[in-house]
Amino acid sequence: MTIIDDFNQSDIRVGRIIEIEDFPEAKKPSYKLKIDFGKEIGIRKSCAQLAKNYTKEQLKSKMVLGVVNFPPRQIGNAVSEVLTLGVPDENGECVLIEPEREVPIGGKLY
């Protein structure tokens, strides 16, 4: 069972997607993202399997939630520094978790 102390160790922040690139080397349709998490965290890279549900145009400037304190992870020829959070749709494809309204980037989930 997870206890609150375990959850509190995850640093989940609001970021804004500022750059999207195709990631054709990935096993599943994916993008390479650059996400701005504000002054404290800065800009971080993420790889995300979003190409089935989102175009690059739909992702530009979208606010997302990401875990910013996991160690970097090598994904193919790219490094992912942030786990961008989403939930599966009825087909098992990622739907991003995003704030319901505009909030300051860098804000911490609590």
| pTM metric for this prediction | 0.93
Q: What is the pLDDT of residues 61-108, one digit of tens each?
A: 999 999 999 999 999 899 999 999 999 999 999 999 999 999 999 999
Does some domain include residue 108?
no
CA 83 to chain centre: 5
Is residue 78 one of the residues assigned to a domain? yes
pLDDT tens across 26-70, in order?
A: 888 899 999 999 999 999 999 999 999 999 999 999 999 999 999
Indicate whether 89 belongs to any domain.
Answer: yes
Number of domains observed in the structure of the chain: 1
Does any domain span residue 3? no
Q: Is residue 5 part of a domain?
A: no
Q: Residue 7 falls within a domain, yes or no?
A: no
| Domain membership flag for residue 109 | no
Residue 47: domain span: 13-96
CA 55 to chain centre: 15
Q: How far apart are CA 53 and CA 67, in angstroms?
A: 21
In a domain, 76, yes or no: yes
- What's the pLDDT at 89? 97
Q: Quick one: residue 106, left, alpha or beta (phi over 0 = left, psi -120 to 50 = alpha)? A: left
b (16+ CB within 10 A) / e for 1-40? eeeeeeeeeeebbbbbbeebeebeebeeebbbbbbbbeee
Domain CATH number, residue 34:
2.40.50.140
